Amino acid sequence: MLDIKARIELHSVSDQHRCLEALMSRVMPFKLMVGPAMVTRNLSIAEAIQMVCEDPTNSPDVIARLAQLGMRVTFAKGKWQLYVVNSPEHHEMRKLFAGTKWAFGGWAMVLRRLPGGEESTQRVGVGFGAAKVTAFYVPQDLLPQNDSEMKLAA
């Protein structure tokens, strides 16, 4: 009568969005080239992904750090995608999800519900073997405004 179910669904936050927010909001140290100097800056995972999407050829240190953390940003199938290692044994991923309900695993199943979500076997970086990963589209708010030029660079 009051359409309470529709109102609850409208204002509820899904598990996959909470999991994504927990991952994207985590702040970690990243080494960056600022002019001629290498500096260490604390960046959220979202900021690091945004840097890679804005300039994929000029972010090798950020890309390497993301790989160490168990993630890889790529441009595939006409869209930016993020690959996240599935294994709950991955030490760095467990640190990223520490303090959340995904601290001991389960993030792969939940993140697979996001747009473009699928399981795959990929390498996350140079020197890393192939691993089971969950791939999903990078959220639109992390993509550069003029994405057409970046697609050509990738």
31-52, pLDDT tens digit by residue? 988 888 889 999 999 999 999 9
Domain for residue 104, yes or no?
yes
pLDDT number for residue 129: 84
- Cβ(70)–Cβ(92) under 8 Å? yes
Least confident residue range of 11-15, 86-90, 127-131: 11-15
pLDDT number for residue 2: 66
Domain for residue 10, yes or no?
no
**pLDDT more than 90, % of the chain:** 62
Number of domains in the chain: 1
Measured CA distances, 88 to 46, 83, 85, 103, 127 (Å):
21, 15, 8, 8, 20
Which of these, 33, 30, 92, lies nearest to 58 by C-alpha position? 33
Domain for residue 8, yes or no?
no
pLDDT number for residue 4: 67
Domain for residue 3, yes or no?
no
Domain for residue 116, yes or no?
yes
Domain for residue 99, yes or no?
yes
Structural domain for 33, as ranges: 15-153
Domain for residue 2, yes or no?
no
